[in-house]
C-alpha cells in the first residue's frame, strides 16, 4: 500500500470528525495552559529562597546549556506574575497549570523551615487567578530538587519518599483551601530514565544500571505518599483531585511483527509509571519485571535491577490517582536491535534491556526541538491505549505544545499543531469513547527550555528577554487558542484569530489592562 502523505492523513482525520460527529468540545471539557517554576520564575535566590539543583547546575556548568543560559531571571514571573495572569485572562483560559519551586517554599527542602516570601508568592498568584475565574492547577514537583536533598542521594535515596510527603503536606496546608486540582510529580519518567541514562540535566549523574530504577520506585512511592496524605488529611475538608503527570511517549512498532516489542516498550516507558497506580493488580508491569530479571541475571546480578515492591507497597500505591494526567507530545518507532547497533539510551535511542532500537516516525515533522517529532496521531493512540490498559479514568492532557525559534509572532505552525492535536483528542473522545477532562497548551509564555536555554520557545506569548520587564507579547497561536476556547470548537474562522489583537474586544482589553496596570515592576 502506498503511504499517504502526512497532510492527507491529517485531512482524513478532519473529515472523519466532521462526518462522524462534530468539531465541538463538550461543555465540561476545560482548556488551559501551563508553565513550570524554574522555567519562568527567575528570582533564583530572592527573599529567602534556597538553591535547587538547577540553580547549582547552571552556575557550575554554564557551558552545558545553549547560550550559557540560566534561569536566574528567565521570564521573571517571580516579579511579573501579574502579567502572566493577564495573559491567561485575555485568552479566557479556564485553568492555568503552574508548579511550586520546592526550595522557594522550603529553603532546604525539609519541612522544618518555611520561607514566608515564597509562601506569599504562590498564594498571591492563586488568589489573582481565582479572581479572574481561572482555576489554578498546581504541580508540586517540576524538577527543582533542593540541593541538600540531591547531596543526600536525591531520588535514589528511599528517605525521599517521606521528605516529599512532608513537603506535599506543607503545600496542601497552605493552598488546598483554594487549589482543587493537583499533580504530584511532573514527568517522573523523564527524571529517572532520561536524566540518569543521559547524564545531562541538573544531577549530571550518568548511571544507567541502578539509578533509573531506584528513582522510579521512589517516585512512585513518593507520589502515593503525597496522595494518601491528601486523601486522609485534606480531602475531607477541602475536596479536590490529585494525580501524577508522566511523559506519555507513544511507541509504534516498525512492522506489524514488532507489535509485541512495541507493547513491551510502552510498558517500559509509561507502564512502569502507571501500572503501580492504575492497574487492578498493582506493582510493576509483569512483562517489564520479567525482562528486567532475565537481563539482570544474565549480567551476573543475583536479583533484578528493577527493585521489587513489598505486598504492602503494592497495596499502598494502588488507586492513588483521581484522574489520568499525561504530557503528550510525540511518537517514536521501535524495532529489535540488530548486530552492530549501539546499545541505545532509554527512551531516546533504544534499550539494552529490551534489546530494542528507537527512531523517529518517517512521517513526522519538526519544530525546533528535534527530540519531539510532531506526530498528532500518536495522541489519539496514546489516549486509547490508556483507556484499554487502565479503564475509564478521565484523562487530562497536562502538556502538549510546539517548539519554535526566534520571535515568530506569526506562529502559524503552532496554530496548526494545536489544531491537529486537538483533532486527535476529539477522535479519541468521539470514536474511541475516551473520557477527557481537558487540554493544556504548553506553554503560556516562552520559558527556559532546559538544555536548550532560550533558543527553543513554546510560548503562546513571546517574551522579550532583552527588556528588563520581560515584556510578554501575544503570538498568533494565543489568538487562535482563545478563539477555540470562545467557540468551544475547532470550527474557527480564520477571521477570528487573524484579526489578532482586536479579538480581545477593546472593552475587555481595557478592563484587563486597567486592572493590572501599570505593569508591575515595583518589587524589582
Ligand atoms: C517538560 C517541560 C518542557 C517540555 C518541552 C516536558 O517534558 O515537562 O518542562 O519544557 O517538555 O520540552
Q: Which domains does the chain have, with CATH numbers?
A: 30-252+368-495 (3.20.20.80)
Which among 263, 289, 353, 399 is annotated as catalytic?
Answer: 399
Ligand 1 test: best mutation among 367, 440, 449, most atoms within 8 Å of CB? 449
Residue 440 in contact with ligand 1 by CB distance below 6 A: no
Summarize pLDDT for 406-465 with one digit per residue, the tens.
999 999 999 999 999 999 999 999 999 999 999 999 999 999 999 999 999 999 999 999
CA–centroid distance, 371 to ligand 1, in Å, is 11
Told to judge if 353 belongs to the known catalytic residues of this protein, a careful annotator would answer no
**Is residue 45 packed enough to be buried (19+ CB in 10 Å), middle (13-18) or exposed (0-12)?**
exposed
| Atom from ligand 1 closest to the CA of residue 143 | 9
- Work out the mean pLDDT of the chain and round it to a whole number: 94
- pLDDT above 90: percentage of residues in the chain: 90
pTM: 0.94
Ligand 1 test: best mutation among 327, 421, 448, most atoms within 8 Å of CB? 327
- Which residue has the least CA distance to atom 3 on ligand 1? 449
The span from the CA of 61 to the CA of 179, in Å, is 36
- 58 band by pLDDT with thresholds 50, 70 and 90: very high
CA–centroid distance, 328 to ligand 1, in Å, is 10
pLDDT recorded at residue 22 = 83
The span from the CA of 193 to the CA of 190, in Å, is 5
Summarize pLDDT for 476-490 with one digit per residue, the tens.
999 999 999 999 999
Residue 190 in contact with ligand 1 by CB distance below 6 A: yes
pLDDT recorded at residue 521 = 43
- 510 band by pLDDT with thresholds 50, 70 and 90: low
Structural contact between residues 284 and 272, judged by C-beta atoms closer than 8 angstroms = yes
- 20 band by pLDDT with thresholds 50, 70 and 90: very low
Task: Pick 302 or 507 by higher pLDDT.
Answer: 302
- Per-residue pLDDT at 506 exceeds 90: no
pLDDT recorded at residue 512 = 64
pLDDT recorded at residue 522 = 38
| Atom from ligand 1 closest to the CA of residue 329 | 11
Task: Supply the DSSP string of 254-307, one letter for each residue.
Answer: SSGGGHHHHHHHHHHHTGGGTHHHHSSS-SS-HHHHHHHHHHHHHTT-SS-SSP
- Burial per residue of 382-399, b for 16 or more beta-carbon CB atoms within 10 angstroms, e otherwise: bbbbbbebbeebbbbbbb
Residue 327 in contact with ligand 1 by CB distance below 6 A: yes
Take residue 294 and report the three cell numbers written for it. Answer: 532475565
Amino acid at each position: 500500500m502506498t503511504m499517504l502523505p502526512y497532510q492527507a492523513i491529517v485531512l482524513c482525520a478532519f473529515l472523519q470528525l466532521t462526518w462522524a460527529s462534530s468539531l465541538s468540545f463538550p461543555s465540561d471539557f476545560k482548556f488551559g495552559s501551563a508553565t513550570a517554576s524554574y522555567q519562568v520564575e527567575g528570582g533564583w535566590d530572592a527573599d529567602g529562597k534556597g538553591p535547587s539543583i538547577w540553580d547549582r547546575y547552571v552556575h557550575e556548568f554554564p557551558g552545558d546549556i545553549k547560550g550559557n543560559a540560566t534561569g536566574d531571571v528567565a521570564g521573571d514571573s517571580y516579579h511579573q506574575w501579574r502579567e502572566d495572569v493577564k495573559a491567561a485572562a485575555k485568552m479566557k483560559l479556564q485553568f492555568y497549570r503552574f508548579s511550586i519551586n520546592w526550595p522557594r517554599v522550603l529553603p532546604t527542602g525539609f519541612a522544618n523551615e518555611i520561607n514566608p516570601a515564597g509562601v506569599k508568592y504562590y498564594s498571591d498568584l492563586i488568589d489573582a487567578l481565582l479572581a479572574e475565574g481561572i482555576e489554578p492547577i498546581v504541580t508540586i514537583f517540576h524538577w527543582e530538587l533542593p540541593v541538600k536533598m540531591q547531596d543526600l542521594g536525591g531520588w535514589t535515596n528511599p528517605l525521599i519518599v517521606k521528605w516529599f510527603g512532608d513537603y506535599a503536606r506543607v503545600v496542601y496546608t497552605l493552598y488546598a483551601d483554594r487549589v482543587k486540582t493537583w499533580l504530584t510529580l511532573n514527568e517522573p519518567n523523564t527524571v529517572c530514565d532520561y536524566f540518569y541514562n543521559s547524564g545531562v540535566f541538573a544531577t549530571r549523574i550518568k548511571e544507567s544500571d541502578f539509578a533509573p530504577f531506584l528513582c522510579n520506585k521512589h517516585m512512585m512511592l513518593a507520589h502515593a505518599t503525597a496522595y494518601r496524605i491528601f486523601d486522609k488529611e485534606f480531602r475531607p475538608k477541602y475536596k479536590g483531585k490529585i494525580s501524577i503527570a508522566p511523559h506519555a511517549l507513544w511507541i509504534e512498532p516498525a512492522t506489524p511483527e514488532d507489535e509485541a516489542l512495541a507493547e513491551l516498550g510502552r510498558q517500559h516507558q509509561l507502564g512502569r509509571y502507571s501500572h503501580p497506580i492504575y492497574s487492578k493488580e498493582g506493582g510493576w508491569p509483569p512483562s517489564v519485571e520479567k525482562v528486567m530479571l532475565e537481563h539482570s541475571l544474565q549480567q551476573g546480578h543475583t536479583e533484578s535491577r528493577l527493585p521489587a515492591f513489598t505486598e504492602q507497597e503494592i497495596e499502598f500505591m494502588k488507586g492513588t490517582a483521581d484522574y489520568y494526567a499525561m504530557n503528550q507530545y510525540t511518537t517514536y518507532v521501535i524495532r529489535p536491535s540488530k548486530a552492530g547497533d549501539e546499545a541505545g539510551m532509554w527512551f531516546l535511542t533504544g534499550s539494552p534491556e529490551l534489546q530494542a532500537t528507537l527512531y523517529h516516525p518517517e512521517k513526522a515533522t519538526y519544530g525546533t526541538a528535534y527530540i519531539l517529532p510532531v506526530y498528532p496521531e500518536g495522541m489519539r493512540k496514546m489516549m486509547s491505549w490508556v483507556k484499554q490498559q487502565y479503564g475509564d479514568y478521565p484523562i487530562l492532557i497536562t502538556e502538549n505544545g510546539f517548539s519554535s525559534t526566534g520571535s515568530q509572532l506569526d506562529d502559524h505552525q503552532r496554530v496548526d499543531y494545536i489544531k491537529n492535536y486537538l483533532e486527535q483528542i476529539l477522535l479519541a473522545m468521539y470514536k474511541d469513547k475516551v473520557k477527557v477532562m481537558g487540554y493544556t497548551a504548553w506553554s503560556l509564555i516562552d520559558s527556559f527550555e532546559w538544555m536548550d536555554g532560550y533558543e527553543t520557545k513554546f510560548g503562546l506569548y513571546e517574551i522579550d528577554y532583552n527588556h528588563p520587564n520581560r515584556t510578554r507579547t501575544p503570538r498568533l497561536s494565543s489568538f487562535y487558542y482563545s478563539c477555540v476556547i470562545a467557540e468551544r470548537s475547532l470550527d474557527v474562522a480564520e477571521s477570528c484569530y487573524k484579526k489578532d489583537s482586536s479579538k480581545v474586544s477593546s472593552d475587555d482589553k481595557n478592563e484587563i489592562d486597567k486592572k493590572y496596570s501599570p505593569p508591575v515592576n515595583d518589587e524589582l
